[in-house]
Amino acid sequence: MPEGPSVRKFHLLTSPFVGQVVTKVEGSSRKINVNDLNALRLQDSQVHGKILYLAFVAAESPLGPTVEETVLQREAASGASSSAQGGQEQVCASETHPQDEELLELQHSRTEPPDAAEGPGNWLRFRFGLFGSVRANEFSRASKANKRGDWKDPVPRLVLHFERGGFLVFYNCQMHWCSSPRADPASDILSVEFHRGRALDALCTPEPICYTLLNQRYFSGLGNIIKNEILYLAKIHPLTQGSLLALSDLERLLDCAAQFSSAWLHSKLRGKGLHPQVYQKEQCPLGHAVMKGTLGPSGGLKRLTWWCPQCQPAVLSGNGDHSPLTE
């Protein structure tokens, strides 16, 4: 699923529409009644980690009361009230590849704790799946034929047309209403309020470092690509226990996380792509062979991980054993 830098870009695309009234709604979503958004005003747009939140109010006033009662009445009339209680939209099979390892993260996300203020409300929460995206004033077009040989454009989950003529298009995302965003800027790696001390405490545990980095409680917005790249930049083996690393090593890892995430965001805003050094690579920049393994906690989410054994040597534990590898 899109990582923090991508969702930050989505947020920047939605921000110019804040204050405008929705004049027309389209989309294939079945878990919310998209018509509920018609004639509402987009009041606010926020991003927290990998989640985008949009707030809508009655069009009479941008600061007016929420439309919670209106939404509930419409959903009750349409028989879709269950979706307003936190139901999540399934990813369309035609938009994903069942063998893609990113799908595991989307499936795992359904077991994560709900928002702190869960329930019906005037905030629409977007969690993006594989190839999920937001476009402003343009639609996504097919770049290649699908397995059937058809050149079919992606089908939007939601299209919002606004009073000044512009529109927003949302692809491959789960949507549901909630009463307020689940916000913790101290855990967001792209927030000025990111709490390094709390992050360092999380990294100091005897847990393999690559597991901890994907914990959204401490590293909101940090995903598999960032994990692979910053571990290489910091020269840390992914299965090294955090408690075995010097504080200076952990500090350098946090510096790499902040710098890489920020640089990736700036590249996106300039329309440039990412050039990873080890992620999905066969060789590192120094020409060493890169290893690949499926790593993750027992009973938890396991992700494909790439590392260079020479640039990122395994760290010995106190009894002289190397960190175990899962191939």
- Positions marked catalytic: 2-3, 50, 303
Contacts of 73 by beta carbon, 8 Å cutoff, 6+ apart: none
The CA-based dihedral angle spanning residues 108, 113, 117, 121, taken in that order and rounded to the nearest 10 degrees: 30
Q: How far is CA 73 from CA 79, 212, 265, in A?
A: 10, 43, 40
Q: Do residues 176 and 88 touch, judged by C-beta distance below 8 A?
A: yes
d(Cα 22, Cα 37) in Å, to the nearest integer? 7
Question: What residue type is 212 in one-letter code?
Answer: T
Other CB atoms within 10 Å distance of the CB of residue 174: 23
Would you call 122 helix, strand, or coil by DSSP? coil
Cβ-Cβ contacts under 8 Å for 314 (sequence gap 6 or more): 237, 239, 240, 322, 323
Integer angstrom CA distances of residue 296 from 211, 292, 326: 6, 13, 9
Distance between CA atoms of residues 172 and 90, nearest Å? 9
Q: Give the type of residue at 300.
A: G
Task: Report the number of secondary-structure helices (H) and strands (E) in the chain.
Answer: 7, 8
Residues 182 and 172 sit within 8 Å (Cβ to Cβ): no
Q: Which two tokens stand for residue 60?
A: 């009479």
Helices 4-14 and 247-269 cross at an angle (nearest 10°) of 40
Helix or strand or coil: residue 291? strand
C-alpha span between 261 and 266 (Å, rounded): 9
